[in-house]
Structure 1
Amino acid sequence: MDTNRLIALMPDLAVFIIVVDEGSYTAAAKKLGVTPSALSKQISRLEQSLSVKLIERTTRKLMISESGTKIYEQCKVMTNAAKQAVEIANYEHTIPSGMLTVAAPKAFLSIVLQPLVTPFLTQYPDIQLKLKASDGEIDILSEGIDVVFRLTERPSEALVNKKIGKVNLTLCASPDYLEQRGEPQVPTDLLDHDCIYLGETATDHIWDFVKDDQFHTVSVTGRYAVNHSQMRLKGVKDGLGIGIFPDFVIKEALEEGTVKEVLKDWTIKGNYQGDIALQFAQTKYMPARLRAFIDYISEHLSQ
């Protein structure tokens, strides 16, 4: 029997189970909200499709044939499997469980998200969490990502976007470096300083600054470039030059006084600044594990 015919038979098979369980067409019809004659026609149609007698009709009660008994047993397996599928679906949407894959920029992942991992998994023991560190573009559908964090002023319009915070870029240097080399007063002063940049692209040594209606683009130079935020920060602390960082990277260093903000009246434009955008694919039925993660992260980052 081909798949289309089998699918067409399933409603009749389900009705057959109810008729057998209720013991009469009248009781089954009352349960289903239809007439007994309609059920009788449905069973007759099923018997014709299967080419087998399922029910022997008598004036007193229904008698299930031997073939009908065997088919009934298999139909119960079918409906039980269907119930389990529904229960799984309900569980998925009510009990946070299953695998959740999250992608985020490397520094944000290690500094901001990492401290939240253990408490989250402790609170939701049925969730498995897979983290992916990536500073590049992420195609969440093709890469199997459930949710991605972006630090940007232009989040993807193809995804649902939840703004959970703000990231600014900060220029800083060590107090010793500034004492020896002097503190820049305007962006163009950086031309006389050693600057530490990423070294990832041909243009990431070009820094843009904005203040009111003033705009400066400065092509900085320096002896050290590294695309790892913690190593770059270490270089700044060691006096190797001036560097740009997302504020969450240098928050602790600023509080400790191991670095000092430079050109604080100027806004720096570049990558990894803007909204902290938590993005995921549009779905009508959001899994409970995804909802739990979004709510948990939103609550803790807002604090």
Structure 2
Amino acid sequence: MGNWEGVSEFVAVAEAGSFTSAARKLGISTAQVSRQVSALETRLSAKLLYRTTRRVSVTEVGQVYYQHCRQVLDALAEAERAVTDLQQVPRGRLRLTAPVTYGEATLAPLVNDFALRYPDLQVEMELTNQKLDLVAEGYDLAIRLGKLTDSSMMARRLGSRTLYVCASPHYLSTHGEPQSLSELGQHNCLPGTLDYWRFREQGRSRNIRVSGSIRCNSGRALVDAALKGIGIVQLPDYYVDEDLRAGRLVSLLEHYREEDDGIWGIYPHNRHLSPKVRLLLDFLDELIGR
């Protein structure tokens, strides 16, 4: 063992406050604990513990050494758990939540493929536009879109989404195409949940208030309105990609397009991520990022 000899015994004594309790915790004899710690002190040429007939206390040098050893032993235990997890087949319940439209169109098919790969999993997926409390409601993972606000959670970026401002060729032939942000006020802009649209002008983010004849919290409803020539919409790529490619919608104001938003995997702040959540995140990272 070389330089590792005596380290576990010393840490156990420092934490337990006695050689007997440390020996009981380690499952070895008190004499063996004492020999190992004495050998460690000899090797370091330093006194780590004060020993009396009633108690054992840690010296100032021992406190410094203990802090470093504790970190090393914790890291070693974490490494062993990680290796063990890699050899485990994920099983049991896996609960996740995601926004409705993105979940239906993109996430659910990927999660279904993941469930086929690991049949011992029982997947529970809640599609809702409400931001659920993962800890209080027992969720392992949430997929969130856009800018993050909850710093109490761990986050992993899985991909990105683009916001498009677009309208139908029929609308543009009738009302013309806006060339600047100031011209949006002359058009029938159809907002969603928010009453403003996001842009980037001269390197800075800018929110522009918009209004029109329809306002709806459903992206699909707004796409339908845009396709029917009612007005202009701003929506994420997964709503409008197909229509843009087919020419049914036209992308507008591209020079003012906001930087891409993130697609995030959010999970509670645990020191050790469970194998099933880690494997799902790796799976989604590969496919969504692609």
Q: TM-score, normalised by structure 2?
A: 0.66
User: Could you say which residue in structure 2 is the equivalent of 1:190?
Assistant: 184
Q: Is 2:215 aligned against 1:225?
A: yes
Aligned pairs for 1:89-168 within 5 A: 94-168=88-162
Contact 1:100 1:128 in 2 (8 A): yes
- SS of residue in 2 equivalent to 1:224: coil
How many angstroms apart in 1 are the aligned matches of 2:207 and 2:159?
Answer: 27
Q: How many residues align?
A: 211
- SS of residue in 2 equivalent to 1:244: strand
Q: Is 2:261 aligned against 1:274?
A: yes
How many angstroms apart in 1 are the aligned matches of 2:131 and 2:99?
Answer: 10
AA aligned to 2:176 is: G
TM-superposed CA distance for 1:165, in Å, is 1.1
User: Could you say which residue in structure 2 is the equivalent of 1:70?
Assistant: none
Structure 1 runs, 4 residues or longer, greater than 4 Å off: 32-35, 90-93, 213-217
Contact 2:197 2:234 in 1 (8 A): no
Q: Is 2:200 aligned against 1:210?
A: yes
- SS of residue in 2 equivalent to 1:283: coil
TM-superposed CA distance for 1:144, in Å, is 1.4
Contact 2:142 2:265 in 1 (8 A): yes
How many angstroms apart in 1 are the aligned matches of 2:207 and 2:160?
Answer: 23
Identity %: 26
How many angstroms apart in 1 are the aligned matches of 2:236 and 2:205?
Answer: 20
How many angstroms apart in 1 are the aligned matches of 2:94 and 2:162?
Answer: 28
Question: What is the aligned-residue RMSD (CA, Å)?
Answer: 2.5
How many angstroms apart in 2 are the aligned matches of 1:91 and 1:154?
Answer: 29
Q: Is 2:286 aligned against 1:290?
A: no
User: Could you say which residue in structure 2 is the equivalent of 1:242?
Assistant: 232
TM-superposed CA distance for 1:261, in Å, is 0.4
Based on CA coordinates, which of the two structures has the bigger radius of gyration? 1
How many angstroms apart in 2 are the aligned matches of 1:190 and 1:145?
Answer: 41
- SS of residue in 2 equivalent to 1:161: strand
Structure 1 residues without counterparts, runs of 5 or longer? 1-31, 36-89
Contact 2:205 2:258 in 1 (8 A): no
TM-superposed CA distance for 1:117, in Å, is 2.8
- SS of residue in 2 equivalent to 1:141: helix
How many angstroms apart in 2 are the aligned matches of 1:94 and 1:191?
Answer: 58
How many angstroms apart in 2 are the aligned matches of 1:91 and 1:216?
Answer: 46
TM-superposed CA distance for 1:290, in Å, is 1.3
TM-superposed CA distance for 1:214, in Å, is 6.8
Q: More deviation in 285-294 or 244-253? A: 285-294
